[in-house]
Amino acid sequence: MNIILVSNWQGINYHRLVIPIGKIATKGLAPVHIIDDVMDLLHMDLSKVDRFIFSRHLQLTPEGYQTIGMLLQENDIKVIVDVDDYWVLPTDNPAYEAYEQNHNIKHSIRRAIENAIKIADHLWTPNKLIYKQAKKINPKLTYTLIPNAIDPDEGSWSMNKNFGSGVRFGYTGAKGHTKDVKKMGVDWSKHYTYTTNIEGYDKLLHADDVSVPLSLHNYGKLYENFNVSLAPLQSGLFHKCKSNLKAIEAGFTGCALIASNTTPYKELIVHGDNGLLCNSFPEWNEAVNSMTVKEAKRLADNLYETVREEYHIDNTIKLRANELQ
């Protein structure tokens, strides 16, 4: 039996564990049991448990990690941690303080993730660079690349793109991406742009239309408002450890993609074939200013063909189920 810890049913847990594990359970692909508190392990019969799976870190002190780690080891239970993002944040990231100081768990989130990696046997991650960093903490760690994925059957991701309204550029970044947006260096006053009202992105992009951030169940609907998605990204280690989710989202929603020529996008995008990759202000300006409706549709169609199988939720369910049988 596989024990899955899901203490938070929102955010990345929802997409990387709740949805795929839920489908694994309902389809009978592997025996799973979900708990919402790691301390439940202390009161369970662990003799029939094969694996313990959780996302990123446990709400434990260093001493708590030691106790749980020993308990799992004594019962010969394989520990799998799912990590989708790098745990060492740049000092200018809005979440930096929260990662370095968190009094609720008596040590930092960064340290909690590092302690989780120390007790883990195996890593699930969408980016090999994350594994390389994790292996420095735990040399015995093995890994499986499990990409972030889209479930096109969810209503917010099912749509037919309308290119009849001309080229419409959109940006859907969360907090902490101001420097990324500035990296494009484009005069957006000449173009239609759409974004969410986060950290002044609307002003940086001279946005024609602005949306409030949507819930994770409705997030995909943002893509109904544009047909060229923008994915600027800095090239530091933290940024290279990101997943290529923006490219996947664009592919499934019928958008063309213009992205920075850096990991994780350059591994998926073939410049001029299924998207455009940019290194500098002049290249961003060329990519944006030369975009036509015909070209956007061609790039969008090719990008969909790139992502439709490997990054479909059914594929990631198979990957996880194979490891849980």
CATH for 112: 3.40.50
State whether 162 and 294 are in the same domain: yes
Predicted structure pTM score: 0.91
For 23-52, what is the mean pLDDT? Answer: 91
pLDDT at 8 exceeding the cut of 80:
no
State whether 127 and 232 are in the same domain: no
State whether 181 and 43 are in the same domain: no
Contacts of residue 143, Cβ cutoff 8 Å, sequence gap at least 6: 122, 123, 124, 125, 128, 131, 134
Number of domains in the chain: 2
Does residue 320 come out as left (phi exceeding 0), alpha (psi in the -120 to 50 range) or beta?
A: alpha
pLDDT digits (tens, 9 = 90+) for 150-201: 998 887 887 767 777 899 999 999 888 999 999 999 999 999 999 998 989 9
State whether 47 and 96 are in the same domain: yes
pLDDT at 92: 85
Q: How many CB atoms lie within 10 A of CB 129?
A: 16
Which percentage of the chain shows pLDDT scores above 90?
68
3-state secondary structure of 223: helix
Do the beta carbons of residue 269 and residue 247 sit within 8 Å? yes
Q: How many CB atoms lie within 10 A of CB 269?
A: 25
State whether 164 and 302 are in the same domain: yes
State whether 137 and 160 are in the same domain: no
pLDDT digits (tens, 9 = 90+) for 129-155: 999 999 999 999 999 999 999 998 887
pLDDT at 223: 94
CATH for 265: 3.40.50.2000
3-state secondary structure of 205: coil
Domain around 11: 2-147+312-324
**Which tokens belong to 264?**
């994780």
- What ranges make up the beta strands (E) of the chain? 2-5, 32-35, 51-55, 78-82, 122-125, 142-145, 168-171, 192-196, 209-211, 228-231, 256-260, 276-278
State whether 252 and 222 are in the same domain: yes
Count the helices and strands in the chain (H runs, E runs): 13, 12
Do the beta carbons of residue 183 and residue 167 sit within 8 Å? no
State whether 121 and 191 are in the same domain: no
Length of the chain: 325
Burial profile 132-159: b = 16 or more Cβ within 10 angstroms, e = fewer: ebbeeebeebebeebbbbbbbeeebbee
pLDDT at 93: 85
State whether 240 and 320 are in the same domain: no
Contacts of residue 66, Cβ cutoff 8 Å, sequence gap at least 6: none
pLDDT at 115: 94
Banded model confidence at residue 14, pLDDT cuts 50, 70, 90 = confident
For 290-298, what is the mean pLDDT? Answer: 96
Do the beta carbons of residue 46 and residue 68 sit within 8 Å? no
pLDDT digits (tens, 9 = 90+) for 232-251: 999 999 999 999 999 999 99
Which percentage of the chain shows pLDDT scores above 70?
97
Distance CA 64, CA 122 (A): 20
State whether 317 and 295 are in the same domain: no
Burial profile 287-303: b = 16 or more Cβ within 10 angstroms, e = fewer: bbeebebeebeebbebb
Please calculate the CA angle 9-55-242 and round it to the nearest 5 degrees: 105
pLDDT digits (tens, 9 = 90+) for 64-99: 999 999 999 999 999 999 999 999 999 888 888 878
pLDDT digits (tens, 9 = 90+) for 248-279: 999 999 999 999 999 999 999 999 999 999 99
State whether 17 and 160 are in the same domain: no
The whole-chain average pLDDT of the chain stands at: 91
pLDDT at 103 exceeding the cut of 70:
no
State whether 118 and 41 are in the same domain: yes
